[in-house]
Amino acid sequence: MRKLKLQMQITIDGFIAGPAGEMDWMTSDWDEGLKQHVRDITDPVDCILLGRKLAEGLIPYWASHPQEEGAEKINTTSKIVFTKTLSTSPWENTTLAKGELVEEITKLKKQPGKDMLVYGGANFVSALIRYDLIDDYHLLVDSVAIGKGLPIFHNLTTTQNFKLIKSSPFPCGITAQHYRRREV
């Protein structure tokens, strides 16, 4: 069965963006070790999952910046955008998922293929976490606290326990943390 992996850059206090979606806190001066770490996560992926709000910014950005590192992977990998509002996809290499979240993800995991990667946004990822649909958590923790913002671990209906698989600090100030859910 295919795995669903989350890769997300977060603040040390657990936010993925400021209250209005600000991302000016993110460290973007990644060192080569962190770049390779992210390539190791994304290389075995053949499908990217996104919520509509993030897709509206992310897909056009990478399509218009093909020279940037990582753009080729994002642009050439098939994408599925989860939406209740769009009726057709305005983006190349992208399909829409409009059904019930748990059913759609379960169906995707059973299809042949490589691992899938989810980038977000906050509400979409929160729902995936709440319904225990993510297999591997790859959190890139910036050494910054913003005090308030958009979390991904909210609206949980039960306590979720995790097992730290690996933690890797990088000179740019980011610590990569890999977790899996632990059954108690």
* pTM of this prediction exceeds 0.85: yes
DSSP letter (8 states) at residue 1: -
Give the model's confidence band at 130: pLDDT under 50 very low, under 70 low, under 90 confident, else very high: very high
Give the SS3 label for residue 91.
coil
Mean pLDDT, residues 128-145 taken together: 96
Report CA-CA distances (Å) from 162 to 83, 106, 133, 166, 184.
29, 21, 14, 12, 10
137 pLDDT higher than 90: yes
17 pLDDT higher than 90: yes
Task: Give the angle subtended at the CA of 74 by the CAs of 174 and 110, to the nearest 5°.
Answer: 100
Look up tokens 């790859």; give the residue.
138
183 pLDDT higher than 80: no
24 pLDDT higher than 70: yes
Mean pLDDT, residues 103-123 taken together: 94
Least confident of 7-11, 19-23, 27-31, 176-180: 27-31
Give the model's confidence band at 49: pLDDT under 50 very low, under 70 low, under 90 confident, else very high: very high
Q: Which residues have a Cβ under 8 Å from the Cβ of 148 and sit 6 or more positions away?
A: 15, 18, 19
Mean pLDDT, residues 41-62 taken together: 93
Cα-flanking dihedrals φ and ψ of residue 136, to 5°? -130, 135
CB atoms < 10 A from the CB of 178, how many?
Answer: 19
Least confident of 21-30, 45-54, 74-83, 141-150: 21-30
Q: Domain 4-14+32-182: state its class.
A: alpha beta
Query: What pLDDT, on the 0 to 100 scale, is given for residue 115?
Result: 96
Mean pLDDT, residues 51-72 taken together: 90
Give the SS3 label for residue 62.
helix
Give the model's confidence band at 155: pLDDT under 50 very low, under 70 low, under 90 confident, else very high: confident
Look up tokens 């019930």; give the residue.
100
